[in-house]
């Protein structure tokens, strides 16, 4: 009976792996289609040049930094509960970063030109900095995982953890600075974006971690101790509240500036889908509802924390859609103090509707992260060990 169940588990595993590979192939096919036909087959135009694939890519890159927070708390601050989750945290950081960068490169239209970015550096460009930040992140996290799995190097885990902690702060600062240094766009050009992205990464990364951990633990017929569940859920609640507060400060700062008033009215009230996604998607579904699930004494629990994590992820996508696409849809102030008119559509709000190649490419990045995580979990022991009791399903087989 046990052997039959094990073969069934293997079949399900390989079926899921095949499904993930199919999603990856669909994303590659969409990228090839856009490469052959041009970005005219997407909803992007000369004003909205970063579309839905960038929403997927930036979310995964920011979450890749934040998910490593679990390992940092364990190794740097010697917290045993988090230390047992450090290997899974490191694996998810690498796979999310790989998935995000895959989407980012394939959405460029000419992905082979990344060789130019890797060999010719303009250090006044934030994009040039990211070539070093992303590759450095891969190297540091790989060494960090090595110190965890190789007993001879366990005593170096804390030093590697400190290096990973510092590097991921710098990486997320660089991601936020990509937007913060774009002074031509009223949606961006704010020094608050660097710390805002750092705080957002905490919540998004921990939410992804909790979803992955719950899935892996349930797959192995186990369940987490209630004390561990409550601790991680409360931490996610704190991160969600901190992110919501800093987003409020960001918009309050823009409202204080007279030149930002029109943009804030567009995003928060008059922009059609963008105010709906901000207030209902990010604030309501992605922040307030998860906080209620995480802090309520009756609603909180394994299912409540899992549902809250999924809502935080959805809220993250809603926030990035408003921030990235809404920020580009709002017209540029090309000549401050004057009204510009031309046949190009100067001063007009851009209309953007994502099309199927963009959806497939973005989902393909998630597929990359899923496949790499599934293979990594199968190859090495990344599952947290808390002397977990068996779940009822495991007892009955």
The predicted pLDDT at position 337 comes to 67
CATH number (domain holding residue 58): 1.20.1630.10
371 occurs within a structural domain: yes
10 occurs within a structural domain: no
9 occurs within a structural domain: no
The predicted pLDDT at position 335 comes to 67
328 occurs within a structural domain: yes
Domain that holds residue 186: 19-380
The predicted pLDDT at position 346 comes to 66
- Can you tell me the distance from the alpha carbon of 321 to that of 203, in angstroms, rounded to the nearest whole number? 17
Residuewise pLDDT in 10s, the chain (397 residues): 344 334 547 788 888 899 999 999 999 999 999 988 888 899 888 888 889 999 999 999 999 999 998 888 888 887 888 888 888 999 999 999 999 999 988 887 777 777 777 777 777 777 778 888 888 999 999 999 998 888 888 888 888 889 989 999 999 998 888 887 777 677 787 888 889 999 999 999 999 999 998 888 877 777 777 778 888 889 999 999 999 999 999 999 888 877 788 888 999 988 889 999 999 999 999 999 999 999 887 776 778 889 999 999 999 999 999 999 998 888 877 666 667 666 666 667 888 999 999 999 999 999 999 999 989 888 887 777 665 454 444 443 3
Task: Name which of 373, 377, 369, 380 is nearest 146 in CA terms.
Answer: 380
Q: Which tens digits make up the pLDDT trace of 216-256?
A: 887 777 777 777 888 888 999 999 999 999 999 999 988 88
The total domain count for the chain is: 1
For 343, residues 6+ apart whose C-beta sits below 8 A from its C-beta are none
- Can you tell me the distance from the alpha carbon of 49 to that of 125, in angstroms, rounded to the nearest whole number? 18
The predicted pLDDT at position 343 comes to 63
14 occurs within a structural domain: no
The predicted pLDDT at position 302 comes to 74
357 occurs within a structural domain: yes
- Can you tell me the distance from the alpha carbon of 397 to that of 386, in angstroms, rounded to the nearest whole number? 22
The predicted pLDDT at position 300 comes to 65
307 occurs within a structural domain: yes
End-to-end CA separation in angstroms for the chain? 7
66 occurs within a structural domain: yes
Q: How far is CA 257 from CA 106, 197, 252, 331, 344, in A?
A: 37, 21, 9, 18, 29
């Amino acid at each position: 009976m046990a052997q039959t169940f094990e073969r069934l588990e293997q079949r399900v595993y390989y079926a899921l792996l095949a499904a993930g590979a199919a999603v990856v192939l669909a994303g590659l096919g969409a990228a090839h289609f856009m490469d052959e036909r041009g970005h005219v087959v997407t909803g992007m135009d000369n004003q909205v040049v970063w579309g839905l694939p960038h929403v997927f890519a930036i979310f995964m890159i920011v979450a890749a930094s934040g998910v490593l927070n679990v390992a940092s708390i364990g190794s740097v601050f010697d917290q045993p509960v988090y230390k047992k989750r450090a290997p899974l945290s490191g694996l998810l950081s690498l796979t999310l970063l790989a998935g995000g960068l895959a989407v980012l490169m394939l959405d460029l239209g000419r992905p082979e030109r990344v060789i130019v970015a890797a060999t010719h550096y303009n250090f006044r460009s934030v994009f040039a900095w990211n070539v070093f930040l992303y590759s450095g992140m891969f190297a540091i996290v790989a060494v960090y995982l090595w110190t965890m799995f190789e007993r001879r190097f366990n005593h170096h885990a804390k030093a590697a953890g400190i290096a990973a902690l510092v590097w991921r702060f710098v990486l997320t600062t660089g991601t936020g600075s990509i937007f913060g240094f774009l002074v031509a766009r009223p949606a961006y050009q704010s020094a608050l974006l660097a710390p805002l992205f750092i705080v957002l990464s905490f919540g998004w990364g921990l939410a992804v971690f909790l979803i992955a951990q719950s899935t892996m633990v349930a797959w192995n017929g186990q369940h987490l101790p209630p004390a561990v569940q409550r601790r991680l859920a409360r931490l996610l609640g704190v991160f969600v509240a901190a992110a919501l507060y800093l987003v409020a400060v960001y918009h309050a700062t823009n409202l204080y500036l007279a030149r930002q008033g029109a943009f804030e009215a567009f995003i928060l009230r008059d922009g059609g889908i963008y105010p709906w996604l901000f207030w209902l998607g990010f604030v309501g579904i992605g922040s307030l509802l998860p906080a209620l699930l995480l802090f309520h004494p009756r609603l909180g629990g394994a299912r409540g924390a899992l549902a809250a994590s999924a809502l935080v992820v959805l809220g993250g996508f809603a926030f990035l859609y408003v921030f990235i696409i809404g920020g580009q849809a709002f017209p540029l102030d090309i000549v401050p103090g004057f009204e510009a008119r031309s046949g190009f559509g100067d001063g007009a709000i851009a209309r953007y509707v994502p099309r199927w190649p963009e959806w497939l490419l973005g989902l393909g990045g998630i597929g990359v992260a899923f496949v790499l995580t599934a293979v990594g979990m199968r190859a090495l022991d990344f599952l947290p060990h808390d002397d977990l009791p068996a779940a009822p399903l495991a007892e009955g087989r």
